[in-house]
Structure 1
Amino acid sequence: MQPKFLQPNNNINMMKSNCFVLVIFIFLALSGAFAFTGVFNCKDGAGIENPRWGNDSTNAQTLTIDVKGPSPIQAVGNYKVYFYSTGKEANTTEAYYVFMHTPDWVNGYASNMFTANGGSTWVGANLFSLTLIYSPKKFPPSGTIITIGATVHYDCTLGSDLVCKYCPMRIYTKAP
């Protein structure tokens, strides 16, 4: 039998494991992997408008919407096309097409542009046109009335978390 001081110590292995998890957590926190939290506000003019169907330079089919706010839009999420509805929000399985489920930076913004206890070092355009490629195979027949929905995020500030004002918006148009 080995003396006690020569036997493996599981507590030391557990501490090493916990330190490893802590290092990963700190790395993610400092690398700009922020979770969006927000303040709901749709009364200040933020929104989406002017949907346009078209083609890009490679002839891929595109949907363009204009996004605006009291300050430039910094991120867009929950961006999808779904059945015509004036009262019910569609979930991902009911949507014809999902462009962005979780918020993504747009308009030249990125998570590393926010200063501690302040706003962004970048100021994007306010009216910003967001153009994304889509596949028409997932859409209803041409001329069908559809809903385009998106949540716009703006006035983001970095304190202990990244906090943005946000507004879920929808507009109605006809499928291409």
Structure 2
Amino acid sequence: MRPFGNFDLTAFWEASEYADEEYVEPPPTAATLAAVEADLGYKLPAAYVALAAVQNGGIPVNTAHRTSEPTSWASDHIAITGIYAIGRDRPNSLCGEFGSEFWHEEWGYPEIGVYFADCPSAGHDMLCLDYRACGPAGEPTVVHVDQELGYKVTFVAADFESFIRSLTSDEDFVD
């Protein structure tokens, strides 16, 4: 089954110079994908690769996702700033300057998978593809890891595609 089916990915991304400079890379080649997965030690979800084929990293139009429990961000949702590219050339790419390993090594985030989306808190919370239940070649869940709450892990979505499909406008939430 093809990831995203009839979901319109062409309207998913916000166009911005900032996103182009910090997040967006060319669509990954097979060689780039293999190298990034080898560096990370995890197979990326097919939906992540499919999204990167449309645009590899960037800032989504919709940046909020409902949660069933409170986080340091809000009582009912999390927010993201951007989604990391499959690559290493932009600062906010999976193997870039502020890539997944940076969050383990510099900030002490738990080694549970691949940190793929940053949040407006400037590093105090992140989104992660959590491979603990499925192993490095399985289909990870999406979790929110909250440094402000002792690296509390909060379930967000059953898989990456569900996460992308469920992103919504921050206007859907009341402060």
Same fold (TM over 0.5): no
Which one has the bigger helix percentage?
Answer: 2
Larger Rg: 1
TM-score in terms of structure 1 length: 0.26
Tell me the TM-score normalized by structure 2.
0.26
Structure having the larger proportion of residues in strand? 1
Structure of higher RCO (CA pairs closer than 8 Å, 6+ residues apart): 1
